[in-house]
Structure 1
Amino acid sequence: MRALTPNETRVLATLMEKTRTVPDSYPLSLNALLLGCNQKTSRDPVMELSESEAQQAIDALKACSLVFEASSSRVPRFEHNFQRGFGVSEPQAVLLGLLMLRGPQTPGELRTNSERWYKFADIASVEDALAELKTRSEDGGAALVQQLPRAAGMREQRWAHLLSGEPSLQPFSQAGAGDAAIETEAEPVSLGQAERLQQRMAALESQVAQLQLQLAHLHKELGLSQA
């Protein structure tokens, strides 16, 4: 399978998202697909595809048997064939779709962002699926994800998909440049980076709230008063 263009990646991933999050509206019309591709939230990078660009991407994906046109509607509607096309499981397809839509993410971020797509039991199950996608080459296939160098201040390493070719490592190499980099002028934070930080903060706040509830329940079960 050749490397997908950015437009093809966005179209395919949007179909993968909508079949799981809004199944009643799936398959998607061209207009609905275009709206999904150009969303301002849960997208990195944010894109502004035109109708002709989206249609060109659809036609190219149809030629690769990754997208089909539904035959049961008067208005053309489109559906993806990702899992069969790439030979991946549902959990693996979910992770790839999220990486295609939102850019590089840690296993923790992937588990949080997958809530509406698929219920991973824990982070370990996310890591197992990522490892399987990475080691496909050992079975004669092609690796579909890559673990990126650890960014400064991050406890976990991010993962990126390889469906559009090798990911750019420039932001990550700059992050590990050492003390000399700290003294340089900070670069502006992109919209995608700001959104990921907000998502990570929201996820951490949710985890803290869940821990507080569990602690309160434990105190109640043990008959202890909370300090």
Structure 2
Amino acid sequence: MESGNAERTATAVLSPEEARVLGCLIEKEATTPDLYPLTVSAAQSAANQKTARDPVMALDPGAVNHALRRLEQAGLAKQVFSTRAERYEHRAGAHFSLPQQQVALLGLLLLRGPQTVHELLARSERLSRFADAEDVRHHLERLCQREPALAVLVPRGPGQREDRYAHLLCGPVDVAAIAARVPAQAPAPAASAALEARLQALEAEVAALRGQVAQLLGAGGSEPAGE
């Protein structure tokens, strides 16, 4: 069934930059709600994070702004007008008629590439609640079984202990090539997953502070004080 789903991909074919920005909108809605919807600057900071991203990117403001405009044209994002700056929110759930759990999983796949069920369970803690790994698997299968499919199962390759899942928003994927690729890191034990969660929380706090400083500077309409 999964191989057939790989041929019936989602209608919205995104560039890597658009996929990254959409994943950031999904993530930040849950992790930094006080800064959401995101400004172009906040979306750029989120897209260029060094942690919880695969691959790491270095997008400039123009590329992020273009990605947001393209997502808006595709019905996957919406501009929200503000007195200080233009902001954007994602529309993935409404556009694809997805429950929050599946929106969260799609966001993680957009941000971090192919992942196992247990990786997604550990990384989804701040985005949505799942009962257990089987609950995650159930929602992933729903994403794979849609017409058109939004995700595809990647069977485990040599030396790998678990199957993985990949999103299809950037078009068809080479399942065989992904299966043969050795992940950059082995599935993290509980301690490593907890450390990763703490690093993500710290990074979110830094992004929130930067956003607040940018808002204060924008509201003042003056040059930053000498620091």
- 2:165 is matched with 159
Residue 93 of structure 2, aligned match among 83, 98, 103: 83
- Aligned-pair identity in percent equals 40
Q: Secondary structure at the match of 2:148?
A: coil
Displacement of 1:64 after TM fit?
1.4
Output one character per residue of 1:169-208: Cα deviation in whole Å (capped at 9) or x when no partner.
4242366xxxxxxxxxxxxxxxxx44x43xx32436679x
Instruction: Read off the aligned partner of 1:123 and give its amino acid letter.
Output: A
- Whichever residue aligns with residue 33 of structure 2, its letter is P
Give 1 or 2 for the bigger CA radius of gyration. Answer: 1
By relative contact order (CA 8 Å, sep 6+), the higher-ranking structure is 2
Match of 1:104 among 92, 99, 114: 114
5 Å-filtered alignment, 1:79-158, equals: 79-136=89-146, 141-158=147-164
In structure 2, what is the Cα distance between the partners aligned to 1:29 and 1:173? 39
- 1:73 — aligned with what? 83
**Superposition map of 1:1-227 within 5 A:** 1-136=11-146, 141-169=147-175, 170-173=177-180, 193-194=183-184, 196-197=185-186, 200-203=187-190
Measured in 1, the distance between the counterparts of 2:96 and 2:40 equals: 24
Contact (CA 8 Å) 1:65, 1:81: kept in 2 or not? Answer: yes
Residues 94, 206 of structure 1: CA spacing in aligned structure 2 closer, same or farther, 3 A cutoff?
closer
The answer (yes or no) to whether the contact 1:149–1:173 under 8 Å persists in 2 is no
Cα separation, 2, equivalents of 1:45 and 1:115: 21
Contact 2:12 2:74 survives alignment (8 Å): no
Q: Is the Cα–Cα contact under 8 Å of residues 42 and 102 in structure 1 kept in the other structure?
A: yes
Q: Which amino acid aligns with 2:171?
A: G
Aligned residues: 183
TM-score (norm: length of structure 1): 0.75
How far did 1:89 drift?
A: 1.1
Instruction: Show structure 2 runs of 5+ residues with no match.
Output: 1-10, 195-227
The one-letter code sitting in structure 1 at the alignment partner of 2:179 is: F
1:3, CA displacement in angstroms? 0.8
Pairwise CA RMSD? 1.8
Instruction: Mark the runs of 5 or more structure 1 residues left unpaired by the alignment.
Output: 176-192, 208-227
Distance 1:171 1:104 in 2: 8
